[in-house]
Amino acid sequence: MGVLNMERGKGTTWGKGHLHTAVAFDGEAKGARQGLEVAMRMAGTTHITCYIDNQAVIQGLANIAPKSSQRDFLRYQELAEQSKGRVQIRWSPGHINQRE
């Protein structure tokens, strides 16, 4: 899981974490939740974009939470709703060429 805070096109704050043992689907859900929690605590954050390379995880974060890792999906949805439109999810195949 990684977090990068961008201001005026430059990375100003970043962080990363280890997810221990998890399958890719569950790990992506947990990483998205943890990353969103960290990003929302960063001072001066105006918008948050979560880049995810798993379409099924994107569907679970944006819509109906699947049974697997449901707690992470529901918490992410709750935080995104509290942000009042500051959170976006983008598909990023292979996590390459992110520019926001």
- Domain at 86, CATH number: 3.30.420.10
Bridge partners, 88 (sequence order)? 49
Query: Considering the domain boundaries, does residue 66 fall inside one?
Result: yes
Query: Considering the domain boundaries, does residue 63 fall inside one?
Result: yes
CA angle, 13 then 15 then 16, to 5°: 160
Q: What type of residue is 97?
A: N
Query: Considering the domain boundaries, does residue 100 fall inside one?
Result: no
Is residue 93 pLDDT above 60, yes or no?
yes
Bridge partners, 13 (sequence order)? 5
Measure the CA–CA gap between 36 and 80, rounded to whole angstroms. Answer: 8
Q: Could you give the 3-state DSSP secondary structure of residue 90?
A: strand
Query: Considering the domain boundaries, does residue 82 fall inside one?
Result: yes
Please give the tally of structural domains in the chain. 1
Query: Considering the domain boundaries, does residue 45 fall inside one?
Result: yes
pLDDT per position as a tens digit, 28-57: 899 899 989 988 888 788 888 888 888 999
Domain range spanning residue 16? 2-94
For residue 13, give the H/E element and its range. strand 10-16
Query: Considering the domain boundaries, does residue 99 fall inside one?
Result: no
> E strands along 23-92, which residues?
48-52, 87-91
Between 29 and 17, residue with greater pLDDT:
29
Split at pLDDT 50, 70, 90, the class of 1 is very low
Query: Considering the domain boundaries, does residue 60 fall inside one?
Result: yes
Between 7 and 82, residue with greater pLDDT:
82
> For the chain, how big is the Rg over CA atoms in Å?
13
